[in-house]
Amino acid sequence: MVSTAKLKSVDFYRKIPRDLTEASLSGAGLSMVAALSMMFLFGMELNNYLTVTTTTSVVVDKSSDAEFLRIEFNMSFPALSCEFASVDVSDVLGTNRLNITKTVRKHSIDKNLRPTGSEFHSGSTAREIKHDEEDDEEYGEGAVSLNGHSFDRVSHQFPILVVNFFAPWCYWSNRLKPSWEKAANIIRERYDRETDGRILVAKVDCTEEVDLCRRNHIQGYPSIRIFRKGSDLREDHGHHDHESYYGDRDTDSLVKMMEDLIAPIKLESQMITSDNTSTKLATDLKRPAPVTGGCRIEGFVRVKKVPGNLVISARSAAHSFDASQMNMSHVISRFSFGKTITPKVMSDIKRLLPHLGQSHERLNGNSYITNPRDSTENVTIEHFIQVVKTEVMTRSYKLVEEYEYTAHSSLVHSLHIPEAKFHYELSPMQVLITEESKSFSHFITNVCAIIGGVFTVAGILDSILHNTMRMVKKVELGKNF
- Reported as a single tens digit per residue, the pLDDT across 109-151 is 888 888 887 788 765 545 678 887 776 566 678 889 999 888 8
β-bridge mates for residue 188, sequence order: none
Whether 254 and 167 map to the same domain: the answer is yes
Beta carbons within 10 angstroms of residue 408's beta carbon: 10
- For residue 178, is it within any domain? yes
CA distances to 77, 265, 290, 334, 415 from 113, rounded to whole Å, are: 8, 38, 14, 14, 28
Residues 6+ apart with CB under 8 A from 456: none
Three-class SS state of 398:
strand
- For residue 49, is it within any domain? no
Domain boundary among 419, 436, 453: 436
Instruction: Examine the pLDDT at 450 and tell me if it is beyond 80.
Output: yes
Helices 440-477 and 25-50 cross at an angle (nearest 10°) of 160
Distance between CA atoms of residues 31 and 37, nearest Å: 10
213 counts as catalytic: no
CA distances to 203, 218, 255, 279 from 232, rounded to whole Å, are: 18, 18, 23, 16
Least confident of 75-89, 226-240, 297-311: 226-240
Distance between CA atoms of residues 271 and 281, nearest Å: 18
- Reported as a single tens digit per residue, the pLDDT across 430-440 is 888 777 777 78
- The rounded mean pLDDT for the chain is 81
CATH number for position 176: 3.40.30.10
Whether 347 and 429 map to the same domain: the answer is yes
pLDDT-derived band at 377 (thresholds 50, 70, 90) equals low
Q: Is 93 exposed, middle or buried (0-12, 13-18, 19+ CB in 10 A)?
A: exposed
**Which range marks the domain in which residue 81 is found?**
57-116+293-436
Whether 256 and 313 map to the same domain: the answer is no
The b/e string for 340-361 (b: 16+ C-beta within 10 A; e otherwise) is ebeeebeeebeebeeebbebbb
Distance between CA atoms of residues 443 and 430, nearest Å: 33
Give the model's pLDDT for residue 10: 66
Which of 170, 206, 213, 295 is an active site residue? 170
pLDDT-derived band at 34 (thresholds 50, 70, 90) equals confident
Give the model's pLDDT for residue 343: 72
- For residue 186, is it within any domain? yes
Of residues 85 and 1, more confidently modeled: 85
- For residue 35, is it within any domain? no
Instruction: Examine the pLDDT at 295 and tell me if it is beyond 70.
Output: yes
Distance between CA atoms of residues 155 and 466, nearest Å: 111
Of residues 211 and 55, more confidently modeled: 211
Whether 158 and 227 map to the same domain: the answer is yes
Max mean pLDDT among 176-185, 277-286, 459-468 falls in 176-185
Residues 6+ apart with CB under 8 A from 397: none
Instruction: Examine the pLDDT at 280 and tell me if it is beyond 60.
Output: no
Give the model's pLDDT for residue 43: 87
Max mean pLDDT among 139-148, 253-262, 344-353 falls in 253-262
pLDDT-derived band at 355 (thresholds 50, 70, 90) equals low
Assign 3-state DSSP to the chain and report helix, strand, coil percentages, each to 5: 30, 30, 40
Instruction: Examine the pLDDT at 195 and tell me if it is beyond 50.
Output: yes
The strand pair at 144-145 and 199-205 is best described as: parallel
Least confident of 76-80, 91-95, 431-435: 431-435
- For residue 105, is it within any domain? yes
Distance between CA atoms of residues 427 and 389, nearest Å: 8
Least confident of 111-125, 172-186, 198-212, 408-422: 111-125
Give the model's pLDDT for residue 272: 45
Whether 106 and 148 map to the same domain: the answer is no
Whether 109 and 149 map to the same domain: the answer is no
Structural domain total, the chain = 2
Least confident of 1-5, 60-64, 126-130, 373-377: 373-377
What's the pTM? 0.73
Whether 337 and 216 map to the same domain: the answer is no
Whether 299 and 422 map to the same domain: the answer is yes
Distance between CA atoms of residues 326 and 170, nearest Å: 15
Residues 6+ apart with CB under 8 A from 473: none
- For residue 195, is it within any domain? yes
Query: What value does the mean pLDDT take over residues 266-281?
Result: 47
Max mean pLDDT among 25-29, 301-305, 354-358 falls in 301-305
